[in-house]
Structure 1
Amino acid sequence: MTPLNRLRRYTWWSVVAGGLLVAAGATGDLVGGGYGPAKSVLVAVAVAVVVVQHIRYLHQAMGGLGRGENRPWEHAATFAVALAAWAVMSRTDGFLPVWALLPALVIAHVGAILPARRRWPAVAAMSVLVIATGGVVGGDEAWPSMTMAAVMIAGLVLADLAQLWIWQLVVQQDAGRRTAEALAVAEERLRFAADLHDIQGHHLQAIALKGELAQRLIGRDDEQARQHAGEVAELARTALRETREVVQGYRRASLGTEITNAVGVLRAAGIETTVRGDAAGVPPPLQPLFGALVREGTTNVLRHSRARRCDVSIDVVDGQVCVRLRNDGVRIDDDGSGGSGAGLAGLRERFATVGGRVEVGPAEPEGFELVGRAGVGR
């Protein structure tokens, strides 16, 4: 389970706990209060209606404050039921504070699903009605009832809204991290596209012009047409060669360059990244190989985990190199295949050609690890 899912579960049970505790307290009071069958049944139904509605609308509010279904008549009916139960129990000797929480539950979930501009006026109006009802029907205990109602409403409403607000901030931050990841990948693609355009643009334009010229000269000056056709072929070979050089340069960047790029991309995505070891100590023949490992590992962290931290370590002993990428996220698509994706399969093949190996798997206590080992002359 990812940290975000754990926080969602914690937030959900925290806000629902209020309704469940009210239901438990009310049930205990009804069972031991001796209120009579008819009254107990009616009040129990009121408790069930309010708690169910509370849980239902808080579940909607988990999608964001102010995003639930706004059904004024349904909210008004639920609030009327809670207010009636509060009024009836306020007349009872031995009145318990739990009954003040019943209308507070309705105020909490209505406040959670209303837009911000309507939230606090609605909360204030409903709170005044509850407090006033306690004062009217409370008799000798009017002031304690009113005070208790005000405290219960303020505590429950603020607690629920604060929990949901914190959850909303976390969701927005996660969405921002995803956007940063996408922008980092898009920026790298644009850089590569710009390199290709700058290098090949003039070649392709020259090929097009000379091709058109050769086409016009056919039948008029065949010798010139053949000369231009030869130049077209040479330009095409040059363009192909430079294209390969660009792609190979992109794929065969040094390990140090790849690590620098990886750190920049990961940090832009909100992932704290540390590097241990010296990339310059890796033998030159192995630099492109381990550069590809770092590039593939960075891609996996961005696409397949919810990491908050990534550690890159480089160990070189007697020409034998070990590069390790470890993150604290869990692969959301890990099906136990041990990393059989196309990228990792290609890495294994490349490492195998030099007698090296690639290891992938979970890292303790929770996370994922990609390790490459190879050496000169292995």
Structure 2
Amino acid sequence: MFRGKALIYEQLGLEKASYIFYPAVVVAAGALSDILGGRDTPAWQAAAGLLAFCGCYLFAIWTAFSDRCGRVLVLAPALVLTVLTVGLSLRFGEGMLWLFSLLAVVWSVLASWRHLLRATLAVVLVTVLASATAGFCEHEAGEIIGIAYATQLSGIAAVTIVRLFSTVMELREAQEELAHSAVAEERLRFARDLHDLLGHSISLIVVKAEAVRRFADHDPETVKRHAGDIESVGRTSLEEIREAVSGYRERALKAELKGAELALADAGVTARIRQDGPPLPAGAEALLGWVVREGVTNVIRHSEARSCEIVVAHGSEAVELRISNDGVAAPSEAAGKRGGTPGHGLLGLAERLSAAGGALDAAHVPGGGFRLVAKLPVDRKSEVRVGTQ
């Protein structure tokens, strides 16, 4: 767990954050001044002890932030530092007592970063130890309070800094998760768009190619017309794909209904199209245009329909689009015969409509046939948002 935390910590450029706590070693200057002033004797013992304390302090801070150190290696320098602090304070007195401030920094970092104990408890324990040691050295009450205050303040400052690091890391993790989620959503949207675009266009090309094959021997003019349609559909598909990649593609419902009528006629299906009610907002038209495209594609590819009815009924608060056909073969069976994979397009449409507050229902009609019904709430004062779905 800490390993993963350390990796994120390094990714944030905070791998040298332990350096922030290194300058605090200047607190030892007070003890050094006592040594140089001759107040701590023998001076060589005091100097050796102070040097050992400073080295142990720097090592303890490094191990606290290092991902290569386990709990034993982390606790060892902190415990040694505690013993040194108490020993030097009892042996040499006032100047060494201020080293408890550095001890509080070490234990606060361990508590906040390594979670070895509660940060508040660590600060309290070191403060109590500093006060007890100062009292044992028979210092005055004012000096004891000053040492306790400095120790507590140092611990709180260390805890605050470490928690700031942790907060930055959590925010970065949340940002990365949101970025991954946005990428995944965009991939899903793009996959749906390509399925809808290519599924319809390729189905239409297949129908035209079948017509070319049927009339190739005895009706050259019809063949030329269908070949021209194939070329037109291919060019249109390329343009639509370019627009989809660019993110500026919109589907007009009237254009889709006209295209659906032509595609059904070429497939030998009688089309009846009716649109009632006032004009739709552009967003609703775009979304229902996808429904028409996918529904008609399914009729051509997955049914043996002879007729298809498309009705757009725009009420006061909602619009309903119905696509009904009299095909006798189930979509799954027809798809299996033609090598298709049913369901993906309808699933994408259902997700689009659901995101806009609508719903999609697809079911077989008793006695034969299939009906696709899309319902979408329409607020005339605001358009349905489709581009981000």
Identify the TM-score tier after normalising by the shorter chain.
0.3 to 0.5
**TM-score, normalised by the number of residues in structure 1:** 0.47
Higher Cα radius of gyration: 2
